[in-house]
Amino acid sequence: MKVIVVGINHAGTSAIRTLLTQNPELKVTAYDRNTNISFLGCGIALAVGGMVKNMQDLFYCDQIRLEDMGAEVHMEHDVTSIDYRNKTVTVVDLKTGAAKQDSYDKLIYAAGSWPMDIPGIPEKNAHLENVMLCKLYQHAAELVKKADEPEIRSVAVIGAGYIGIELAEAYRQKGKKVTLIDFENRVTARYYDPEFTDRLEEDIRASGVTLALGERVVDFRGEGGRVAAVVTDKGEYPADLVVKAIGFKPNTELLPDAEKVSNGAIKVNGRMETSLPDIYAIGDAAAMYHAALRQPMQVALATNAVKSGLAAACAVNGVAGVQIESVAGTNALCVFGNNLASTGLCETVAKAMGMDVGSSFIEDADRPEFMQDYGVTWIKLVYEKSTLRLVGAQIGSRGEVNHTEVIYFLALAIQKSMGLLDIAFTDVYFLPHFNKPFNFILTAILKVVGLDYEAVKKRV
């Protein structure tokens, strides 16, 4: 059997390694437009800020390793069309321009996603020098180089999601004057509610970063072919460097007949099978079943990418019982002294999607106050009002206090459709060194059912 893999970053690499580990005799041919694979984009901001000294440390695999496993790997090759009826692909060698056809028995589509552009920018200014994207190793290398150039004094980051905030912190650490711009009125608005973003914004401003929220970018102003400022509908901000980080669009144009969700990601089942015969979609190109929303949704995270590659490979090799029943969109952020994690849907997003949800937010010491030192943690649970089913959770703290890993437990609860009372009676330990008898999760749940002991204590 011959398998073609289109795209070889996290999802594609995971699929190839699993395919050939399970079945070394399998014929696997892989194509990718890039010159490198397995680059950990999550480390870009760390490299810009100087924590990662060697960019090569952000790679965990390469072409030689995949070929040693038995894969036939073609870098700088662009798959330009897929004929799923005849099971063929057309491929162009980007170095020579030569085109060829290749055939397959099974195809794993891992074409990923690409940064979205800002609509409405006049063409004469859209491609000014020092207006950059943040996705590939090539982008990262330039962004790191710019961080050390003294003539780059001011940086504007467009998009206050995870990548944008991390880059804003990194360039501030390098002594740059930084402006963080977003059309939303809050940072990380898709993942966190105001109880969390208000604190984060306070710390961002305290660091010296200018926040321009609720502003839409309408133009770039240039001088001598280089960008000099970002123009929004409410003002203008000096910028010797502009980084666009407004989000990503799935690359799924090669499969126009596949069933998709509204943003273009391809619907898949737990085995990563698409609506097209013998074609699997993985990584950022796929829309998996979202446990909180209870419908397919693209959740573009590296964790989902590698797991989807594993599931697709197991399906191709006929390994039973390996499938992804659901995802919850679990993620984390460590910036400006804040340790944050979220899973499922925040209350703002859940309500915007028409869900009838309630929430419980508490702020509490993470261990008994009689201990010589303790930290403060804040947590928010979002639940379906009619059933108390957990649909989202957020947890945060500052400095050395970090309890983000409890998000794993809450993500599993969402994936298993657990209600708040089921979660409340989970068998957990108590030890003063680590937590309270009524830990912050249990306390937040009890508040929902009318047992708000903190409120009683305050009245007394």
**Catalytic residue IDs:** 10, 42
Helix/strand/coil (H/E/C) assignment for every residue in 214-275 = CCCEEEEEEECCEEEEEEECCCEEECCEEEECCCEEECCCCCCCCCECCCCCEECCCCCECC
- Cβ neighbors of 350 (< 8 A, separation 6 or more) are 292, 357, 382, 391, 392
Please give the order of strands across the beta sheet that includes 331-335. Answer: 331-335, 338-344, 390-398, 376-384, 357-365
Q: Is 32 left (phi over 0), alpha (psi -120 to 50) or beta?
A: beta
Over the range 204-216, which residues count as b (16 or more CB within 10 Å of their CB) and which as e? beeeebebbbebe
The rounded distance, in Å, linking the Cα atoms of 71 and 208 is: 49
Going 204 to 209 to 214 to 216, the CA torsion angle's sign is: negative
Beta strands at 210-213 and 177-182: parallel, antiparallel or unpaired:
parallel
Q: How far is CA 453 from CA 370, 395, 430, in A?
A: 18, 20, 18
Burial of 319 (0-12, 13-18, 19+ CB in 10 A): middle
The one-letter amino acid at 202 = E
Tell me how long the chain is: 460
The rounded distance, in Å, linking the Cα atoms of 218 and 117 is: 12
- According to DSSP, the residues that pair with 370 across neighbouring strands are none
The rounded distance, in Å, linking the Cα atoms of 223 and 131 is: 13
DSSP state of 116: P
DSSP state of 174: T
Q: How many of the other CB atoms lie within 10 Å of CB of 99?
A: 12
Name the token pair of 296: 């397919």
Phi, psi angle pair for 403, to nearest 5°: -125, 30
Q: How far is CA 123 from CA 33, 177, 218, in A?
A: 26, 27, 12
- According to DSSP, the residues that pair with 249 across neighbouring strands are 114
